[in-house]
Amino acid sequence: MSNEIVSDQDLCYSDRLVGGLFSAFRRAGVACKDVVNISIPQWRRNRDQASLESALARIIETANGHQASGVAKGSPVYIELNKKADERIGAFCEKWTVARSVVDAEAPNLVALRSLCVAGTKIPPGLKLVACVVGTVLSLALLGMASGIIQGGHDLVIHFIHH
């Protein structure tokens, strides 16, 4: 085994398997070293990144499913899903010392998830009632003016025809 591996007990089966493959390539010579130009820490980071991406994809799919079924914006469901996504991203960034902005830039669907956490603005019922009354009065006034203009045009035409 290489000097990168501390003990076999600290590694999971897949880490030991990959470590064994890397050490076999290293023993085989320089030509094989170029074929596998990745270290165990880099492999672990890639594995963790793939795991993060699949977890975020599941979270976003779940949010899209809730949205399709009619769950309102600002619902606690979206807040919990966003919290879960933030925890996963935070753990990855802390473990691999990656800037949070890098992960956010690579996952634009997170912006949509965060926007679902904010409740839509609701119009108070009193304001709706006032708007309906004012709209009705304005509609009737416009209808009356249009009727008057048509009546005036009709009277003008009749006046020219009779004289």
Annotated domain spans of the chain = 1-37, 45-122, 124-163
At 128-144, the pLDDT tens digits run 899 999 999 999 999 99
CA distance 25 to 31: 9
On average, the pLDDT of the chain sits at 82
Sign of CA dihedral 92, 98, 101, 106: negative
At 35-62, the pLDDT tens digits run 455 677 888 888 999 999 999 999 999 9
The pLDDT value given to residue 8: 42
Residues 6+ apart with CB under 8 A from 77: 63, 66, 71
**Residue 65: both structure tokens together:** 């499913």
Region 107-119 average pLDDT: 88
At 57-80, the pLDDT tens digits run 999 999 999 999 999 999 999 999
* Residue position matching structure tokens 């949205």: 67
Integer distance in angstroms from the first to the last C-alpha of the chain? 115
The pLDDT value given to residue 120: 77
How many helices (H) and strands (E) the chain has is answered by 7, 0
CA distances, 64 to each of 57, 58, 76, 97, 112 (Å): 10, 10, 14, 30, 10
Residues 6+ apart with CB under 8 A from 66: 75, 77, 78, 81
The pLDDT value given to residue 3: 38
The whole model's pTM is what?
0.56
Least confident of 2-6, 31-35, 158-162: 2-6
CB 41 within 8 A of CB 4: yes
